[in-house]
Chains A and B, each alone.
Chain A
Amino acid sequence: MKSMIKKVLVDWCVRATCLSALFILWGCASGAHVIPSISIPSPLIESFPLTVGIYYSAELKDYVHEEPKGRQKYVIELGGGNQEQVFDTCYGGLFEKTVTLESLDLTNVEVDGIFHPEITGVTLTTPAENVRDYYEVMVHYTIQLLDPAGNELHKWSVNGYGRVNRHDYGSVVERTSDALEQATENALRDASTIIIESFNPRQRPVVVSNWLNSNRSNTE
């Protein structure tokens, strides 16, 4: 009887040790692979009575950020409809009508202006790096506003920032992928907010105000 109990205990201990080792190795080596799926609500704002085109390049639509950190590798897939969700939502709220353009060839396209966003980089910080409790993601964009002839009127730099507290993602085994996914979604939502804010009369550049007013008077 004694030997049987001892055997069961030893078996249990070996299994527990192996499982713990597996968890530790998995935690050390895995990093994260994140595929966000953002849903931004329709903005509660007045629209400008204009029709604008949005051009999504192939690079933007399929943007993948890969970053090795030590032995870990972090991958964030920012495409997969996320970029369309960001820009269709904010420009769809800001303007009466939006049209998705297949290219920047503007012949036969009847729009008042064209927005051409691109991602210039992604900054990703983990709690181990920032010595705080946050996973942080920053998505850097440049957005060109072109007139119907294709001339650049203005170029914005937009840095969408999102972060989440690691304590909201598990106390024993941290769900790194879930945390990074939420931080990325927050960053994309923040980018959309910044774009809407940039059309606030107190913030928008004179050239953009002039463009809005000239087109508004054309429609009136």
Chain B
Amino acid sequence: MKRVKDWTFSSVILSIVTLTGALALQGCVQTTQEEFREANTGIGEDQIIAILRRASLTTENTEQAFLDCITQRTAKGRDGIDVISNQEFIDAFYPWFEARTAPIDIDELKDLAHNDKIKDRLDTLGIRYLVWIDGSTKRINQNGSVQCAVATGGIPACFGFLSWRAESVYEAVIWDVERNISVGKISSESKGMSFVPAVVIPIPFIARTQSSACTSLADQLKEFIEGGQE
């Protein structure tokens, strides 16, 4: 009986340690959101949105991993919205939404909307909103170092302490293609500190700021479009 009790107690302790370890390995992330609404929104059951990269030939572009993440998360869940991905959209509207030809403001979209072929394709696909994603994840303030070497006896060992601060700053500008207006802008900023202490074995504590910004922006986007009281 005592052995069973010991075993149960050990399991609980082990679970707590594992859970704490897993949480600690994630690192700490702080996320802030902002919203600026210009008009009411809403979406029909047969309508979809396009999530697009605000591509540029000269400046920093949003990572593909972030675009994939926000596209998937926006479409997921009970409140999910049907999404056409960046690649599918730019292929369907080639060459009007390439990095060098895409409309940069709502006036340029109005010009494009005069083109019957573009208008027909938008109608056929049922696209109601264009969501332009801009931003990136940057690693800043990196300090320290971890050095690894093969010690006497042929066993590799690492020593040192490495830390950095990561910032994921993303924004989404939302255009309503039915009314040809900009309906608003949302943004998400995640900051986190990652560190890797190494005493023989390096243990990384990584702050997953990009993933956190993605989740936050996707949830915000769904709420913005569906909760706009149209």
Contacts and interface: CB of A to CB of B under 8 A. Distances in A.
A31 interface: no
Interface in B83-97: 91-96
B150 A44 contact: no
Interface string B128-155: 0000000000000000000000100111
Interface stretch (A8-16, A61-69, A206-214): A8-16
Contact of A41 (B92, B117, B118, B150): B92
Contacts, number: 56
Given A41-B91, A41-B94, A193-B94, 18 more contacts: A6-B153, A9-B154, A10-B154, A13-B155, A17-B150, A17-B156, A43-B94, A44-B93, A44-B117, A45-B95, A161-B57, A165-B63, A167-B63, A189-B98, A192-B95, A193-B95, A193-B101, A196-B95
Contact of A197 (B61, B91, B92, B100): B100
B156 A16 contact: yes
Contacts of B95: 43-45, 192-193, 196-197
Interface of A: 6, 9-10, 13-14, 16-17, 40-46, 161, 163, 165, 167-168, 189-190, 192-194, 196-197
Interface in B4-19: none
B65 interface: yes
Interface in B37-83: 57, 61, 63-65
A74 B64 CA distance: 25
B154 A14 contact: yes
Contacts of A161: 57
A59 to B, nearest CB: 27
B99 interface: yes
Interface residues of B, number: 23
B121 interface: yes
Nearest to B95: A193
A129 to B, nearest CB: 17
Nearest to A196: B95
Contacts of A189: 98
B86 to A, nearest CB: 13
Contacts of B101: 193, 197
B58 to A, nearest CB: 10
A165 B210 CA distance: 16
Contacts of B61: 165
A44 B121 contact: yes
Interface string B201-217: 00000000000000000
Contact of B117 (A16, A45, A167, A168): A45
A193 B98 contact: yes
A60 to B, nearest CB: 22
A41 B89 CA distance: 11
Most buried by A among B93, B95, B117, B155: B95
Contacts of B98: 189-190, 193
21 contacts: A6-B153, A9-B154, A10-B153, A13-B150, A13-B154, A14-B154, A16-B156, A17-B156, A40-B94, A41-B91, A41-B94, A42-B94, A43-B94, A44-B95, A44-B96, A45-B117, A161-B57, A165-B63, A167-B63, A167-B65, A168-B65
